[in-house]
Amino acid sequence: MSDSLSKKDDSIGAINRVKILAAAEKEFAIHGFKGTRVQHIADRAELPKTNILYYFKSKDGLYLALLQEILSLWNSSFDNAKAQDDPAQVLAAYIADKMEISRCRPDASKIFALEIINGAPNLSSFFKDQHSTWMNSRVAVIQQWIELGKLPEIDPYYLLFNIWASSQHYADFSAQITELKGHEMDQNEFANATKSLIKLILQGCGLTVPKQYQ
Amino acid sequence: MSDSLSKKDDSIGAINRVKILAAAEKEFAIHGFKGTRVQHIADRAELPKTNILYYFKSKDGLYLALLQEILSLWNSSFDNAKAQDDPAQVLAAYIADKMEISRCRPDASKIFALEIINGAPNLSSFFKDQHSTWMNSRVAVIQQWIELGKLPEIDPYYLLFNIWASSQHYADFSAQITELKGHEMDQNEFANATKSLIKLILQGCGLTVPKQYQ
DNA sequence: CAAAAACCAGACCAATTGGTCAGGTTTTTG
DNA sequence: CAAAAACCTGACCAATTGGTCTGGTTTTTG
């Protein structure tokens, strides 16, 4: 309890909460909220069902707790970008960040995607406001880059949508990708996909790809 | 019955089937398969629940019928592209096609997305094989373009993934887009988004945007 | 026009499943 | 070390919901 930013807690409750959240992330990603059975989460976490309800008041409560944890992943270096920064560097790093999340936390990405597709019924208006505010400030920075001549004319919204869409695709649509490629993408392929994506988007914006991303 | 390519049938059954499929598309897109209630589909279609089960044997049967209809939307002009065609023309048209589907059939796109995110549990292996075959042939054409010097070096997989991801994003994530833009995208904005996307991707590939898409 | 086919719908049911409860045991704490 | 807090869990329940059944009515067809 105490604090959401609490230091590592090795109490039995804290350990179980982590196990449950991990199990829930997998189940919700595969079956969606309605399709997920509390019993299956319990099985995966190797705990009796009643324990799940003990730690999280309800299925809803568990889902909400998980969603909140997932939303915290959305922070990145791009949050603090300024007009004086180099757009090529900032955007390349942002794309790389996003791809890394897709690689390491595909289930988190899927749950977020499911939530949005279903009309974001569980995203608090607090989050939405926060997100809109974030968006406005990032759009402003991109527009400043354009005014400063650091970036050719482009609609900032469509640029950001493109970055999100194409990076999250590797998590959300992994089943399709695996099917078409004939195998799951490994770390090496992710690195190639990231390079490819950075090149496509930066070049698409008329920017030069920084050396370290080539 | 008779033939899936049957001519317009105005029998009472045919009309009801269309009404039911339309209602189901909306419900499944919002609530997912498990979250959708047959009763809600019935309410939306303005028919008693038992009629839904009468026309489609079961909820599963209805979903599968709907999914099949949705998959038929995936066909496009790109299917017949040849090495001798102009990549800029072909890809621009393909992107425009995809964006048009996102605009006109967002619910269809969402249902497909939900299906893939959940691991494609209902996509027949027939569809998967067909899809893989399609992919191989399209990858081959793109590689020929590269060999012919009509297209700079690029991994065809990542190119296609990018096109799908960024175009489908406008349907699947419409809730987020509406929230961030402050309003739903209208036809005019879709046209701008399409131009923006075509420019980004073609330029990203090192191609020149054909005049009619500028 | 009669019979077959298609269509309609209220009543009902069995299975699933999120959640409660009561009575524990273990761990922490003052 | 005792009491409080945290943790654990089998038994149970109420509500939901996909689907059936039966007895119709309407439409089509030979």
Domain annotation for chain B: domains and CATH numbers: 2-57 (1.10.10.60), 67-207 (1.10.357.10)
Provide the pLDDT for residue B11. Answer: 81
Please, are residues B44 and B23 in contact by the beta-carbon 8 Å criterion?
yes
pLDDT of residue B4: 35
Cα-to-chain-centroid distance, residue A59: 22
Only one residue has tokens 């909220």, namely A33
Spatial neighbors of B50 by CB under 8 A, at least 6 apart, are none
- Contacting B residues, span 112-131, partner chain A, CB-CB under 8 Å: 113-114, 116-120, 128, 131
Confidence of residue A7 (pLDDT cuts 50, 70, 90): very low
Task: Kindly report which amino acid residue has its CA closest to the C1' atom of nucleotide C19.
Answer: A58
What local confidence, expressed as pLDDT, does residue B2 receive? 32
Q: What is the 8-class DSSP label of residue A5?
A: T
Nearest by CB to A166, from B114, B162, B173: name it: B162
Query: pLDDT-derived band of residue A2, with 50, 70 and 90 as boundaries?
Result: very low
A192: chain B residues, CB-CB within 8 Å: 155, 158
Is B29 exposed, middle or buried, given 0-12, 13-18 or 19+ CB atoms closer than 10 A? buried
CA–CA gap between residue A199 and residue A185 (Å, rounded): 19
**Average per-residue pLDDT in chain B?**
94
What local confidence, expressed as pLDDT, does residue B1 receive? 34
Select from B113, B166, B175 the Cβ nearest to the Cβ of A162.
Answer: B166
- How far are the Cα atoms of A97, A171, A173, A180, A187 from residue A184, in angstroms, in the given order? 20, 11, 11, 10, 10
| Number of neighbouring beta carbons within 10 Å of residue B118 | 20
- Nearest by CB to residue A200, choosing from B162, B181, B196, is B162
Q: How far apart are CA B88 and CA B85, in angstroms?
A: 9
Contacts of B128 in chain A (CB under 8 A): 179
Residue B76, both tokens: 């496009």
CA-based nearest residue to B33, from A161, A30, A188: A30
Contacts of B161 in chain A (CB under 8 A): 166, 169-170, 173, 177, 193
Q: Which residue of B has its CA nearest to A155?
A: B196
Q: What is the per-residue pLDDT across B146-155, written as a single tens digit (0 to 9) for each?
A: 999 999 999 9
